[in-house]
Amino acid sequence: MLVSMKAVLDLADAKKIAVGAFNITSLEGIQAVLGAAEELGQPVILQFAPVHESIIPLKVIGPVMVMMAEKSSVPVCVHLDHGDKLEILREALEMGFTSVMYDGSVLPFEENAANTRIAVEMAGDWGASVEAEIGAMGRQEFSSVGEGEEGEAVESCYTDPEQARAFTGLTGIDALACSFGTVHGLYLTTPKLDFDRIRRIRESIGIPIVMHGGSGVSDEDFKKCIANGVRKINYYTYLAKAGGMYVKEKCRAAEEYVFFHDVTQWAVQAMKEDVLHTIRVFSHLAKVGKGGKAMNRSEINRAFRDMEKMIDRCSFKLPPFCYFTPEEWNEKGHEYDEVRDNMLGWDITDFGMGDFDKVGFSLITLRNGNVSMDKYTKPYAEKLLYMKEGQSAAMHFHWNKMEDIINRGGGNVLIGVYNAGREEELADTDVRIHSDGREYTVPAGTQIRLCPGESITIQPYLYHDFHLEPGTGSVLLGEVSMCNDDNRDNRFYLPAGRFPVIEEDEPPFRLLCNEYPAAGSCAKR
């Protein structure tokens, strides 16, 4: 889902994490970054810097970045990095970028502030966010910081908190890139970061701080920066290095011909692994979820087997694609593109909490259209959801979708309801309920009990969550709705993730809907 930088930084601020901003110089880079972000269910920023025009022009890669961000299952901001001319900012905004950086850091303070204000007004016409920079960051990608220049680099790379406060007040920017000891490019010595300066700047300006020069900073220093107010971290050099060095190793070890498509696949593999690690550090995930543990593949397999048993118990039949094995999916061609494109099939969520036994559920999307692809005209969707005792689902509403939630069998489900207020808060107004042909009114926060066979209609802007009534057993829920668009139509009351972090302790029983191989992938190998 394509969103503004402000949207992802607001999310990061609420979670006290940082969002990774990865510079893009190729399609492979986009694939690596989005693949990692979707696997972890975390927001991400794709960005392009004019310094990379010699590698690939903005007019070529920019529209691709926007298109792939729109199709992503996680929030993605597409950002112009280090735009030092207003003309290139306009070019990026016109092609759909949702954020731009005006970099006037080499200019006098007053001129930088004046130009940045123009950039803010320009971006406002597109509903886009603006980042700016003060201080002397220095150096471009591909350069390095060595022993002989360390003192100069460090001493020149500090932002004054009072000047930062004045600058943000004059410009109205959404985020500020500050200098506190980092530089662009490779570090040959350990960077000396001023963590207290970060804290003082953040307290002074009241908006997210951006960290440039992220490559080469230790995981522990990243965590300290985030703890003191950094919410966006730019990262490129080590990403490019990871892909290049892995390709170098694979080429050296190759006994036969090396084909270019092999090279690109190797690069994507290595860069994705680097991005996975980086996002985990920035999001405080390490190798686990927010709640302190990952989901083992064996746990996911067990959840899906339990759901199949519940489906059989309720005499519900599934379409054939729900029973395809991972091996069978490798053989499926384009005749199953509707399943792939619309993410039909098995799914699981722990809402990014890392505690599936308490927050989360298993589900199957049986039928769905696609609001982003004209060839799929189906205007409705159908799902099955399985919740075991002790589980709950996070409070959320939909801006567009109307849905019926149906208790298909098992125990009783309790659905808490609130109207959304003007600021999308939980309103204290009475809620109008539509349930199985009956209309009635309940106070805000009421839990509506659905026994087997009963349903409730969830209107747009109606906050709702799910809890199981203790002692009544697990529940199989049905959902019949308008076309489902999880990428753009979920508003969680508290920040929530999508897919769990998975530890591969055994082969998958069923593939998740975000794990399908491309059509005919086995034949291609």
- Indicate the domain borders of the chain: 5-282, 295-524
Give yes or no for residue 224 having a pLDDT over 90: no
> Does 138 or 299 have the greater pLDDT score?
299
The string over 445-454, giving b where at least 16 C-beta atoms fall within 10 Å of a residue's C-beta and e elsewhere, is ebebebebee
Share of the chain above pLDDT 70, in %: 89
Q: What is the pLDDT of residue 152?
A: 43
Q: What is the pLDDT of residue 204?
A: 93
The answer for residues whose C-beta is within 8 angstroms of residue 12's C-beta and 6 or more apart is 18, 19, 43, 208, 231, 232
Q: If pLDDT is split at 50, 70 and 90, which confidence band does 495 have? A: low
Hey, what are 261's tokens? 């498509």
Alpha helix (H) ranges present in 254-352?
Answer: 260-282, 297-313, 326-329, 337-341
Range list of β-strands (E), 44-110: 44-48, 76-83, 99-102
Quick check: helix, strand or coil at residue 262? helix
320-359 pLDDT per residue, tens: 999 999 999 989 999 999 999 898 999 998 876 778 888 8
- Average pLDDT value for residue range 12-21: 89
Give yes or no for residue 147 having a pLDDT over 50: no
Determine the Cα–Cα distance for residues 490 and 362; give it in Å rounded to an integer. Answer: 17
Range list of β-strands (E), 111-249: 129-133, 144-145, 175-177, 186-187, 209-211, 230-235
Query: What would be the CATH architecture of the domain defined by 295-524?
Result: Sandwich (2.60)
DSSP secondary structure letter of residue 235: E
Q: What is the pLDDT of residue 217?
A: 77
Residue closest to 205 by CA, chosen among 135, 291, 264? 135
Give yes or no for residue 97 having a pLDDT over 90: yes
> Does 401 or 504 have the greater pLDDT score?
401
Tell me how far apart the terminal alpha carbons of the chain are, to the nearest angstrom. 31
376-421 pLDDT per residue, tens: 999 999 999 999 988 999 889 999 999 999 999 999 999 999 999 9
Q: Kindly write down the DSSP assignment for every residue of 344-378, as one continuous string.
A: -EEEEE-TTSS-TTTB-EEEEEEE---TT-TT---
Amino acid at 150: E
Q: Which residues pair with 80 in a beta bridge?
A: 48, 100
- Average pLDDT value for residue range 18-38: 95
- Average pLDDT value for residue range 62-71: 96
210-223 pLDDT per residue, tens: 998 766 677 778 88
427-462 pLDDT per residue, tens: 999 999 999 999 999 999 999 999 999 999 999 999
Same fold, 5-282 and 295-524: no
For the chain, how big is the Rg over CA atoms in Å? 24
Give yes or no for residue 150 having a pLDDT over 70: no
Q: If pLDDT is split at 50, 70 and 90, which confidence band does 424 have? A: confident
Determine the Cα–Cα distance for residues 234 and 22; give it in Å rounded to an integer. Answer: 6
- Average pLDDT value for residue range 4-14: 89
Determine the Cα–Cα distance for residues 484 and 378; give it in Å rounded to an integer. Answer: 10
The matching CATH number, chosen from 3.20.20.70, 3.10.20.30, 3.10.450.50, 1.10.287.1060, for 5-282 is: 3.20.20.70
272-322 pLDDT per residue, tens: 989 998 998 898 764 444 444 678 899 999 999 999 999 999 999 999 999
Q: What is the pLDDT of residue 195?
A: 87
Give yes or no for residue 126 having a pLDDT over 50: yes
Determine the Cα–Cα distance for residues 34 and 45; give it in Å rounded to an integer. Answer: 9
Q: In this structure, what are the phi and psi dihedrals at residue 126, rounded to the nearest 5 degrees?
A: -105, 5
